[in-house]
Chain A
Amino acid sequence: MPNIDVKGKTIEVDEDGFLANLDDWSEDVAKYFAEVEGIDMSDQHWEVVNFLREYYNQYQIAPMIKILVKELGKKLGADKGNTKYLYELYPGGPAKQACKIAGLPKPTGCV
């Protein structure tokens, strides 16, 4: 497995660059991934990442897009409760880019 180096700490990632061990996540790790993905983390970006992490703690999987959109809308206002807003923040796709930054694994199966 490949490794990345974040502030002097060696962290294991998988072939697609996702965290191998979810406990290795920290804000620094998130910032590192964001830089790799070419994303400048604003408060709005963090709101999505924080939601993903909270959701994952409860459900052990990334939320389906429908849930992500609805819950962000509830939390942050209806204008942010749509896929367009999410893609503006994360052009590489909320499922792949935002999950990677939040330290979540990729869902597998018929998806």
Chain B
Amino acid sequence: MANLPKPEELSEIDFTPPKTGWMDTPVEFKPGMFCHGSKPKSLQTVEFPNPRDWKPADADWKLPENWKEIIIEGIADRLKKYRSFRLFMDICVRCGACADKCHFFIGTGDPKNMPVLRAELIRSVYRKEFTKAGKILGKIAGGRELTLDVLKEWWYYFYQCTECRRCSVFCPYGIDQAEITIIGRELLNLLGLNIEWIAGPVANCYMKGNHLGLEPHTITSNLEYMLDDIETVTGIKINPSFNRKGAEILFVTPSGDLFADPGTYTAMGYLMLFHELGLDYTWSTYASEGGNFGFFTSNDMGKRLNSKIYAEAKRLGVKYIIGGECGHMWRVIHQYMDTWNGPADFLETPVSPITGTKFSNAKASKMIHIAEFTADLIKHGKLKLDPSRNNHLKVTFHDSCNTSRGMGILEEPRYIINSVCNNFQEMPEDTIREKTFCCGSGSGLNASEDMDLRMKGGFPRANAVKFVHDHHGVNMLANICAIDRAVLPPLMDYWVPGVGVTGVHELVANAMIMKGEKERTTDLRGEPLPGKEKKEESE
């Protein structure tokens, strides 16, 4: 973040549009606002077209000669295949309701980050090539030729959209801008135009089962270290199982939880909760990724990566699947998995073995979110909790775009947090639940070379956190998404220093009184618990 402008500079946003019309304003690649191009090795691993060394800022993108043909054919194929895409190409009336709802527009002032205009980048080509009016009248009918500059503009702006869908909440037609960005990225991938921060994890996940490329012995070793820490804090030794056939439940979480702080503390929370319940479950070192960067590449790639989860559930003979705290993973599971890789008729509708609750909402996917599972446990009084252990925290909750807008998990995490913490404070109404502001780094944009973009895109979210930090003393930002846990810490350090970031199950595990535990003096991070600070010193 060394080259980043200071927050005072970055928050001076110029909303004056350029003097020229949008079609006549060429795209300018600004440093810090885009990611590195995909590397040939990553594309070759998944047999994607046109693997080569290329740089987005270079004039020559080393495209195949017939690149335009490939794109136009690609659009034609998708218009046939996806009714949603066809509809979204035709129905926008350009009312502008979405314009100021996008975090990237709010943070950059760039008109092409208005969702309507981002969609117009593709729509204009669609009109020119696929509608009578556009073919005959061209620009007058809103059509334009697909040129190399237009293609570059697509690339720049489809990787400046996090597919968060806040704009679609306000669209009177319900146009799903994420679907347009998804198709835009699919088309770009036909020419090998991905970013490495997505292509690398996709290749890793395809070869090794997870985005980070953690091999089986690395996964078990990482968990061992977490188990050691749990033993230090609670005195309890936990022995989870891996790849165990005949377990009742398969547990799948994003690999970030198995590698990077503060996700690792969330993973410790899962381990402690399942141990306390005596849950008959297993981890998998094969289906070792809940997230799906393939989803940020193309539908087909998303499907290929997602297929491991059901395949592993079938191989192990489990009854159903619990998934960890992840964002886009849940959009995939909730809205795509059954179509892509279902029906999972070899699994059963999830039933909590502790409460007997049947999760009929998951009867198609056979997969439940851990927040649903835990909220149900608490509701039935199955957990012994001491929320005062979290008394040093004033917590607010960031709804992840995908779990809130993508599947409606709004109450469960709040119910859990309110049960395990005494101090909870909501952010302003227009920035939470369905109207939540994106972290600014989702959909695979959480690289380090695009920090300007990330800090600008995360500005509206950070601004809302700052409000509750300044007015209510909030010092902890809870969430249920691994990308959030990775990207919100630098966002907070930049805009709202003094606010930490945590997964919800870290809070649960800190408050949970476990059978046979020793007197706890620290939380999972090794920090003294409230009231235990002095005692520690005197020891």
Contact = CB atoms under 8 A, between A and B. Distances in A.
Interface of A: 1, 14-16, 58-61, 64-67, 70, 106-111
Contacts of A110: 211, 254-256, 260, 263, 291, 326, 446, 482-483, 485-486
A63 to B, nearest CB: 9
B261 interface: yes
Contacts of A107: 212-213, 259-260
A60 B204 CA distance: 12
A110 B212 CA distance: 8
Nearest to B35: A15
B229 A66 contact: yes
Contact of A108 (B197, B218, B483, B485): B197
Contacts of B212: 61, 107-109, 111
A28 B204 CA distance: 30
Given A66-B261, A109-B204, A109-B256, A60 B225 contact: no
Contacts of A106: 448
Contacts of B533: none
Given A64-B261, A110-B260, 5 more contacts: A60-B218, A61-B214, A108-B212, A110-B482, A111-B256
A107 B214 CA distance: 10
B213 A16 contact: no
10 contacts: A15-B55, A58-B217, A59-B217, A61-B212, A65-B260, A67-B221, A108-B196, A108-B201, A110-B326, A111-B256
Interface residues on B, range: 35 or more
A60 B209 CA distance: 14
Interface string B236-268: 000000000000000000111001110110000
Contacts of B200: 108
A66 B228 CA distance: 11
B213 A67 contact: no
Nearest to A96: B448
A23 B79 CA distance: 47
B314 interface: no
Interface string B116-157: 000000000000000000000000000000000000000000
Given A61-B214, A64-B260, A109 B201 contact: yes
Contacts, number: 83
Contacts of B213: 60-61, 107-108
Contact of B486 (A60, A67, A111): A111
Nearest to A70: B225
Given A66-B226, A109-B255, A110-B485, A60 B211 contact: no
A67 B263 contact: no
A77 B225 CA distance: 18
A64 B265 CA distance: 12
B85 interface: no
Q: Which 3 A-B pairs have the closest CB atoms?
A: A109-B211, A110-B256, A110-B482
A110 B485 CA distance: 8
Most buried by A among B196, B214, B485: B214
A64 B225 contact: yes
Nearest to B259: A64
B312 interface: no
Most buried by A among B261, B291, B485: B261
B215 A59 contact: yes
B363 interface: no
Contacts of A67: 221-222, 225
B449 A16 contact: yes
A14 B326 CA distance: 30
Interface string B428-452: 0000000000000000001011000
B215 A108 contact: no
Most buried by A among B36, B196, B255, B260: B260
A16 B485 CA distance: 23
Interface in B27-69: 36, 39, 53, 55
B256 A66 contact: no
B105 interface: no
B459 interface: no
Nearest to B326: A110
A36 to B, nearest CB: 13
Contacts of A61: 212-215, 218, 259
Interface string B175-218: 00000000000000000000011001100100000111111011
A77 to B, nearest CB: 18
Interface in B59-113: none
A16 B2 CA distance: 13
B260 A111 contact: yes
Contacts of B295: none
